[in-house]
Amino acid sequence: MFTITALSAGQRRTDTPAAFTFPGGECQVTVPAGLRDVADAATEFRIHALLKSAEDVMRLLMLTDALRRLNPAVPVHLDMPYVPYARQDRVCNPGEALGAAVFCKLINDQQYATVTIVEPHSDVTPALLQRVRVVDAAAFVQKALAAPMFAQGVTLMAPDAGARKRVQALARKLGVTEVRYAEKVRDPQTGRITETRVPDDIPAQPVLVVDDICDGGRTFLELAAALRDKTNQPLCLYVTHGIFSKGLAELNARYAAVFTAYDWTAAEGAGAPVLVN
């Protein structure tokens, strides 16, 4: 999903570019006429890009080129909440690529004036991107915590070691005093989760599991099962980037509410996640 905003004479004009794919598989984009009309007077272009596929990445590059051909003097800013390949932040096996480095170099080569990202998977991505601005999840989690079920208190739960620092920082920023940490045990040969451990001292109040991404959701399903052995309080889930590649049915069966800032499913009605963006 893409939108373009042009700032001209103090006025903002926003529109969605057209995109199509040729029979041979190549893509093309077109800047809308309304934005082309103000390009000569524009002082800033801003692309908002939710990149869900390799094709979206190519469309972003094409769109950047199209804007610069309209007015090469205008700075182009990129808002890219989700950073593709951010989870490939280390080489796991000989012969593999460092995906995060490859993708970030591609973005750096575009020479954006700024690159704004939201809740990156690790510190590696901000270190690799130039002129980067990082938005944390505090405002989104705060909206989730405004739900009535948390009126009498909440325990924030980090689902694994990778989320520990993130949840600690959010708790400090939001003034949440009760924080607990889960631990995943993996089979070293297969990488599969063999056990999820949670502490015994879960307070008698709703639990909000907090993480940056939910892809298939297995981590959160296993965690919900482990938590149910320790508490009968409502379990809720917040993820900034809701990919939900396996759907939401199983998550909804385990969690009283699922909150997300960016919902990739565009689901509506019963069973849809609660948007807090």
CB 203 within 8 A of CB 178: yes
The predicted pLDDT at position 9 comes to 79
CB 212 within 8 A of CB 176: no
The predicted pLDDT at position 162 comes to 84
Domain boundary among 96, 117, 135: 135
In total, how many domains does the chain have?
Answer: 2
Determine the Cα–Cα distance for residues 189 and 176; give it in Å rounded to an integer: 38
Amino acid at 57: V
The predicted pLDDT at position 100 comes to 96
The enclosing domain of 234 has a CATH number of: 3.40.50.2020
The predicted pLDDT at position 210 comes to 98
Indicate whether 160 and 257 sit together in one domain.
yes
Indicate whether 76 and 104 sit together in one domain.
yes
Indicate whether 93 and 14 sit together in one domain.
yes
Domain boundary among 135, 150, 183: 135
Model pTM score: 0.92
Low-confidence ranges of the chain (pLDDT < 70): 188, 191
Indicate whether 94 and 62 sit together in one domain.
yes
Indicate whether 126 and 147 sit together in one domain.
no
- Domain extent, residue 161, equals 138-275
The predicted pLDDT at position 225 comes to 95
The predicted pLDDT at position 236 comes to 98
The predicted pLDDT at position 152 comes to 94
How do strand 115-118 and strand 207-214 relate by DSSP bridges? unpaired
